[in-house]
């Protein structure tokens, strides 16, 4: 059963939940601009944020080297959503790369913009994916790719959302060379740096899964001679050079995997974990005692459960994620996977919204209780 929930109701839900105040440590530079940053409670009173009022333009340029925090105000807790592709875009020219298909087709009016509009009714931040495979296959030019990013970023800003870009996926990279990739990332970062609502960048989605992808060889995989760990760090430095905090996300399928270090964990300015199991509230706390996690903040870049599971199981899972985000003082929030269903079949029905743009309240209700106020 589904029902529509208003943006006001969803955004008020977190504040009314009585979860208690948390103190977010700030760098000296963050302290200097904290008074200029609007309290996010204003989101509960209007349909969008005045981003000019929340501008971070007064932050010193060296703040990114001094701090391990995402570029988000201390007052903010993320209630985020992943913007996703649709499988119907896939064509023979896409080398079976569905993200590449999204960027080739660029269905702005029928898929991309409506999805962003719906995300703005339930959350305050969007994780938006790129795809270098579309460039490697020559299905779009770099200029076209950047123009499409700009179209999305402009609309995201108009909606009053923060944005968390993801550069792509090594499982869908193709023959894009190191030099081509660095140029693409540098030019994209130059564009991203002109927007005050960019909180940071996930350089590539779940890079550590490349060895798993390579067990099923495909011409769409990353295949440069440079080890992937070195390659993605080179991309990260190209982005960080534009004063954008970076991270390298990784996926977790059990509580034990939090503490299994990946070589990229120490290379990011903040941490991003994708949680695809039902956690306990304390599962994340151990990472801040490690050499690679100490002093860093964390986001949950993905969490989700499809409709092959019961409504009760899905609600319980969302509630477990919410409790972890509330219990972990270093966790800045979480991004649901996803806004829409990539394919309208149960194994792909992860969306907060179905294909008719109707909220699924078994997960939308607990999602509305995720806090948006970080203090």
Q: What is the DSSP letter of 241?
A: T
What is the number of other CB atoms lying within 10 angstroms of the CB of residue 177?
A: 11
Predicted local confidence at residue 6, as pLDDT = 37
Predicted local confidence at residue 76, as pLDDT = 84
d(CA 205, CA 270): 14
Counting every residue written for the chain, the total comes to 375
Q: Please give the structure tokens belonging to residue 214.
A: 């390579």
Predicted local confidence at residue 215, as pLDDT = 84
What is the number of other CB atoms lying within 10 angstroms of the CB of residue 65?
A: 11
The position carrying tokens 């570029």 is: 71
Predicted local confidence at residue 262, as pLDDT = 94
Predicted local confidence at residue 70, as pLDDT = 80
Identify the helix (H) or strand (E) that includes residue 50. Answer: none
Beta-sheet strands, E only, within the chain: 78-82, 125-129, 162-166, 201-202, 246-247, 250-252, 271-275, 298-303, 331-336
Q: Are 11 and 44 in contact (CB under 8 A)?
A: yes
d(CA 49, CA 123): 12
Q: Please give the structure tokens belonging to residue 8.
A: 């006001």
Q: Are 51 and 72 in contact (CB under 8 A)?
A: no
The DSSP annotation for 183-203 comes to HHHHHHHHHHTT-TTB--EES
Strands 201-202 and 271-275: unpaired
Domains and CATH numbers, the chain: 7-367 (3.20.20.80)
* CA-based nearest residue to 152, from 102, 87, 94: 102
* CA-based nearest residue to 165, from 210, 208, 131: 131
Per-residue pLDDT of the chain (375 residues; tens, 9 = 90+): 333 333 333 333 332 332 222 222 333 333 332 332 332 333 333 333 333 333 333 332 333 334 446 877 788 899 999 999 999 999 999 999 999 999 999 999 999 999 999 999 999 999 999 999 999 999 999 999 999 999 999 999 999 999 999 999 999 999 999 999 999 999 999 999 999 999 999 999 999 898 888 888 788 999 999 999 999 999 999 999 999 999 999 999 999 999 999 999 999 999 999 999 999 999 999 999 999 999 999 999 999 999 999 999 999 999 999 999 999 999 999 999 999 999 999 999 999 999 999 999 999 999 999 999 875
């Amino acid at each position: 059963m589904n029902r529509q929930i208003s943006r006001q109701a969803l955004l008020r839900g977190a504040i009314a939940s009585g979860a208690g105040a948390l103190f977010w440590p700030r760098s000296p530079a963050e302290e200097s601009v904290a008074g200029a940053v609007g309290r996010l409670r204003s989101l509960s009173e209007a349909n969008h944020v005045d981003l000019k009022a929340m501008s971070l333009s007064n932050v010193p340029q060296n703040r990114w080297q001094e701090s391990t925090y995402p570029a988000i105000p201390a007052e903010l807790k993320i209630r985020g959503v992943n913007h996703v592709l649709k499988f119907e875009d896939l064509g023979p020219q896409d080398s079976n790369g569905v993200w590449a298909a999204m960027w080739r087709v660029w269905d702005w009016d029928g898929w991309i913009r409506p999805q962003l509009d719906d995300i703005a009714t339930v959350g305050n931040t969007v994780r938006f994916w790129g795809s270098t495979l579309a460039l490697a296959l020559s299905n779009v030019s770099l200029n076209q790719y950047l123009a499409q990013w700009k179209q999305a970023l402009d609309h995201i800003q108009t909606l009053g959302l923060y944005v968390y870009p993801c550069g792509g996926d090594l499982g869908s990279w193709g023959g894009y060379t190191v030099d081509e990739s660095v140029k693409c990332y540098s030019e994209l970062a130059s564009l991203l740096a002109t927007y005050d609502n960019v909180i940071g960048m996930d350089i590539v989605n779940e890079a550590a899964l490349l060895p798993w992808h390579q067990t099923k060889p495909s011409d769409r995989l990353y295949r440069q001679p440079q080890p992937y760990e070195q390659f993605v760090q080179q991309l990260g430095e190209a982005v960080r050079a534009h004063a954008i905090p970076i991270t390298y996300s990784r996926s977790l399928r059990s509580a034990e995997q939090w503490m299994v270090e990946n070589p990229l964990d120490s290379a990011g300015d903040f941490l991003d974990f994708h949680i695809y199991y039902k956690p306990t509230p304390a599962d994340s706390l151990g990472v801040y005692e490690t050499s690679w996690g100490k002093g860093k903040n964390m986001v949950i870049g993905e969490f989700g459960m499809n409709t092959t599971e019961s409504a009760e199981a899905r609600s319980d899972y969302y509630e477990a994620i919410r409790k972890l985000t509330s219990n972990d003082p270093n966790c800045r929030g979480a991004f649901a996977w996803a806004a829409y269903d990539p394919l309208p079949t149960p194994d792909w029905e992860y969306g907060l919204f179905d294909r008719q743009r109707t909220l699924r309240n078994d997960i939308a209700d607990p999602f509305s209780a995720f806090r948006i106020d970080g203090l």
